């Protein structure tokens, strides 16, 4: 072997050992923190951020809502991809139901907080522990790329066994992406008639970048950020860089309600405008001046609830409407 090949191999080996290998290890650890349930109590049924006043208030108000309607509730289960999933169904005597889909780290107790506008509109309510969350089985979060199959199973339970003729999906953050993935799936049943989404991002990669810029502005992200995305692709089966709501929303045919805050620091408002423009389905967008990411309702409860109720009332005639509400 020529001497320069030996030098080249030695340099490549040194780069791999002293630079790439350490960052790959660090990025894998970060991936596990973000998306792997490596102990049973991770992402359990407790407030995810008890030190955050708004998050704690939302959680406590949700528990109060559950306390008022416990007599209407029963635990329900489905199996999806071999995983036993747990939910709670509130039968309010309606003929339609909503499935509330929370984001990463949240259990179904978090979803209680978003249930009232649907209950007051005459809908039965299903809150669910996403796979790898709460009491549901699973170890890996796939950011909606596999969870949409779980939502279809839940919809089948609501329709086939619990007698709901129509179903609406309401997703928050990653739950918004999951709702969209469900609605555009070829296996999505017709009785899932519409979706509403709060704080939907264009793709998870951009949302993650915005998290880092906002929460840790001094942190150098290269190449850790790119390596985390690689781990997500390999282990969670999610292509979060080139695939996501921005790519999939042109396929949507079911009505959609966008709920978005101009203060959203992770799912940026200008990108939401792009999502809205790319959507060719019957659509409505309601803008809120206050409320950080996933915190719209706690800051605008009356407007939020009325926006949802008005959307549900208008669904039968929402065939080709595009409407923006400030």
Three-class HEC string of 93-159: CCCEEEEEECCCCCCHHHHHHHCHHHHHCCCEEEEECCCCCCCCCCCECCCCCCHHHHHHHHHHHHH
**């350490």: which residue's tokens?**
22
Query: How many angstroms separate the CA atoms of 268 and 209, rounded?
Result: 11
Over range 277-303, report the average pLDDT.
97
Residue 24 confidence (pLDDT): 84
Residue 153 confidence (pLDDT): 98
- Nearby residues of 87 by Cβ (< 8 Å), 6 or more positions away: 75, 76, 77, 78, 108, 126, 127, 128, 129, 154
Task: Kindly provide the b/e burial profile for residues 53-71, where b requires at least 16 CB atoms within 10 angstroms of the residue's own CB.
Answer: eebeebbebbeebbeebee
Residue 250 has a CB neighbour count (10 Å cut-off) of: 11
Is the residue at 28 inside a domain? no
For residue 127, the enclosing domain spans 50-202+244-325
Is the residue at 265 inside a domain? yes
Query: How large is the C-alpha radius of gyration of the chain?
Result: 21
Q: Is 91 helix (H, G, I), strand (E, B) or coil?
A: coil
Mean pLDDT, the chain, rounded, equals 92
Residue 214 confidence (pLDDT): 83
Residue 182 confidence (pLDDT): 98
Is the residue at 154 inside a domain? yes
Is the residue at 73 inside a domain? yes
pLDDT of residue 18 exceeding 80, the answer is: no
Is the residue at 14 inside a domain? no
Contact 182/169 with Cβ under 8 angstroms?
A: yes
Say what percent of the chain tops pLDDT 90: 83
Identify the weakest region by mean pLDDT among 22-26, 41-45, 264-268: 22-26
> DSSP readout, 149-193?
HHHHHHHHIIIIIT--SEEEEEEETHHHHHHHHHHHSTT--TTEE
pLDDT of residue 125 exceeding 70, the answer is: yes
Among 245, 71, 83, 97, residue whose Cα is nearest residue 149 = 83
Pairing of strands 73-80, 83-90: antiparallel
Entry pTM: 0.93
Is the residue at 236 inside a domain? no
Number of domains in the chain: 1
Which stretch of DSSP H or E encloses residue 90?
strand 83-90
Over range 255-275, report the average pLDDT.
97
Q: For residue range 176-212, list pLDDT tens digits in order.
A: 999 999 999 999 999 999 999 999 999 999 999 998 8
Q: For residue range 62-121, list pLDDT tens digits in order.
A: 999 999 999 999 999 999 999 999 999 999 999 999 999 999 999 999 999 999 999 999
pLDDT of residue 168 exceeding 90, the answer is: yes
Comparison of pLDDT for 181 and 27, the residue scoring more: 181
Contact 255/269 with Cβ under 8 angstroms?
A: no
Q: What is the CATH number of the domain that holds 254?
A: 3.40.50.1820
Residue 224 confidence (pLDDT): 85
- Nearby residues of 126 by Cβ (< 8 Å), 6 or more positions away: 76, 87, 88, 89, 90, 97, 98, 99, 100, 154, 158
pLDDT of residue 319 exceeding 60, the answer is: no
Is the residue at 23 inside a domain? no
Could you give the C-alpha distances from 304 to 230, 246, 289, 308, in angstroms and in order?
37, 24, 12, 6
pLDDT band for 7, please (50, 70, 90 cuts): very low
Say what percent of the chain tops pLDDT 70: 91
pLDDT of residue 16 exceeding 70, the answer is: no
Is the residue at 39 inside a domain? no
pLDDT band for 146, please (50, 70, 90 cuts): very high
Residue 213 confidence (pLDDT): 85
């Amino acid at each position: 072997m020529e001497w320069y090949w030996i030098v080249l191999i030695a340099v490549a080996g040194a780069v791999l050992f002293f630079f790439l290998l350490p960052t790959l290890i660090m990025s894998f650890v970060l991936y596990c923190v973000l998306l792997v349930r490596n102990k049973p109590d991770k992402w359990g049924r407790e407030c995810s951020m008890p030190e955050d006043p708004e998050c704690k208030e939302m959680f406590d108000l949700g528990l109060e809502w559950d306390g008022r309607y416990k007599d209407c509730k029963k635990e329900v289960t489905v199996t999806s991809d071999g995983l036993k999933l747990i939910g709670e169904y509130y039968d309010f005597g309606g003929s339609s139901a909503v499935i509330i889909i929370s984001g990463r780290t949240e259990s179904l107790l978090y979803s209680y907080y978003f249930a009232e506008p649907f209950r007051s509109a005459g809908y039965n309510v299903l809150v669910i522990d996403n796979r790898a969350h709460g009491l549901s089985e699973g170890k890996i979060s796939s950011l909606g790329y596999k969870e949409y199959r779980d939502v279809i199973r839940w919809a089948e339970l609501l329709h086939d066994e619990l007698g709901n003729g129509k179903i609406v999906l309401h997703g928050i953050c990653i739950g918004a992406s999951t709702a969209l993935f469900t609605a555009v799936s070829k296996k999505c049943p017709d009785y899932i008639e519409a979706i509403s989404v709060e704080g939907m991002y264009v793709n998870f990669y951009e949302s993650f970048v915005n998290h880092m810029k906002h929460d840790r502005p001094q942190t150098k992200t290269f190449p850790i950020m790119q390596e985390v995305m690689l781990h997500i692709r390999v282990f969670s089966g999610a292509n979060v860089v080139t695939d996501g709501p921005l790519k999939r929303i042109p396929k949507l045919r079911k009505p959609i309600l966008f709920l978005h805050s101009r203060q959203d620091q992770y799912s940026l408002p200008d990108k939401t405008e792009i999502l809205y423009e790319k959507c060719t389905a019957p659509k409505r967008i309601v803008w809120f001046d206050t409320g950080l990411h996933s915190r719209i309702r706690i800051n605008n409860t009356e407007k939020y609830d009325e926006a949802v109720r008005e959307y549900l009332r208008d669904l039968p005639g929402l065939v080709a409407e595009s409407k923006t509400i400030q």
